[in-house]
Structure 1
Amino acid sequence: MSIINNHCEGFSPSIDENCTHLILGSMPSVASLGAQEYYAHPQNRFWPLMARILEQNDAPTVYAERLNMLLRHHIALWDSIATCERKGSLDADIHNERGNDFSALLKQFPHIHTICFNGGKSFQCFKKYNQALLIRRDIHFYKLPSTSPANARWTIERLEDEWKIPFTPQ
């Protein structure tokens, strides 16, 4: 839940028993860790993007309302990494990471059938620690472009085109 001497500890998942989708980041940024909120950096496009896709609206400004927006649409939020060493916020600077326990999470929340990775580092770390889960045929996996401001070459429109795929009814 904090960052001390470059040691980062992630958050608990935002999830309930109705969730069918799980979005995974890598590790919260310095801004997010300081605010104790997922995607707290004002230039991260996660919340505006999800509001556009799910509700064709502006993102709520209150953090609890943002989480409730996701839960209303049966979407959980967590990270691939439980703890790591990192100076700053860049995924490229993550070292000595320990993955979260997804086997236990999926056992506790069996309705999850779609897992989305917000950026390459999230998928890379999930893959490193969860090979057995990646072969499950009852779960669909989506590697999505990062919503981070560091991924500036992706416009919000391009992100929306990619990100809406896992959230559009088949």
Structure 2
Amino acid sequence: MQVRGFPPLSAPDAELLILGSMPGIASLETGQYYAHARNAFWPIMGHLFGAGPQLAYADRAMRLRQQKVAVWDVLQLCLRAGSLDADIREEVPNDFGAFFAVHPHIRRIGLNGGKAAASFRKYAAVHVPPGAEAVTLPSTSPAHAARRFDDKLALWRSGLLGSPQE
């Protein structure tokens, strides 16, 4: 089935952009990024930016914007049955030229998993502002549960913030 992503959670002064590949079924059903209960994204955002799952979704989104963090997906449209990145076909990327024109302060791009990283390199890397750095992070998806939460958190902290401690 054809799947359409969401608009970015962002403010024009964003300095950090976190990119997934495409929202999964739980997210599409709720209209919220990373809505699956076992996805580690919001717990990680809680540790790093105070935007944890204990807050209402609107409050989490506001907290990230206040912290100059934007969230989006590399893909705008695709064909996919289910939620697995491996099943994505016929990719249509988001308009990163327009995004970076409106968000000129982005300095770091966190890529949530291998599919987001591969699609980003294929479609969006040419639009990255000078001086901005992209880093591939371990997927927060519950489908990638081989890595412990504490390990994911440490890699996300280091990759996004460059510091090993909270």
- Asked if TM exceeds 0.5, the reply is yes
How far apart, in 1, do the equivalents of 2:16 and 2:40 lie?
A: 19
Moved more, 67-76 or 27-36: 67-76
CA-CA distance at 1:169 after TM superposition: 6.1
Name the aligned partner's letter for residue 15 of structure 1.
S
| 2:57 pairs with 1:83 | no
CA-CA distance at 1:30 after TM superposition: 0.6
Against the structure 1 CA distance between its residues 85 and 164, is the aligned structure 2 distance closer, same or farther, given a 3 Å change threshold? same
Whether the 8 Å contact between 1:114 and 1:166 is mirrored in structure 2 is: no
How far apart, in 2, do the equivalents of 1:31 and 1:132 lie?
A: 31
Secondary structure class of the residue paired with 2:54: coil
| 2:122 pairs with 1:133 | no
- Cα deviation code 1:113-162 (max 9, x no counterpart): 1111000101111111134236x541111100000001101111001110
TM-score by length of 2: 0.92
Q: Report how many aligned residue pairs link the two structures.
A: 163
Specify which of 1, 9, 22 is matched with residue 4 of structure 2.
9
Partner of 2:146: 153
Name the aligned partner's letter for residue 40 of structure 2.
R
Moved more, 64-73 or 37-46: 64-73
How far apart, in 1, do the equivalents of 2:78 and 2:141 lie?
A: 19
Specify which of 46, 63, 69 is matched with residue 69 of structure 1.
63
Secondary structure class of the residue paired with 2:105: coil
CA-CA distance at 1:7 after TM superposition: 0.5
- Cα deviation code 1:58-103 (max 9, x no counterpart): 5333110111121121100000000000000000000001011111
Specify which of 36, 40, 47 is matched with residue 35 of structure 2.
40
Q: Which runs of 4 or more aligned residues in structure 1 lie more than 6 Å from their structure 2 counterparts after TM superposition? A: none
| 2:19 pairs with 1:24 | yes
Against the structure 1 CA distance between its residues 105 and 72, is the aligned structure 2 distance closer, same or farther, given a 3 Å change threshold? same
Partner of 2:90: 96
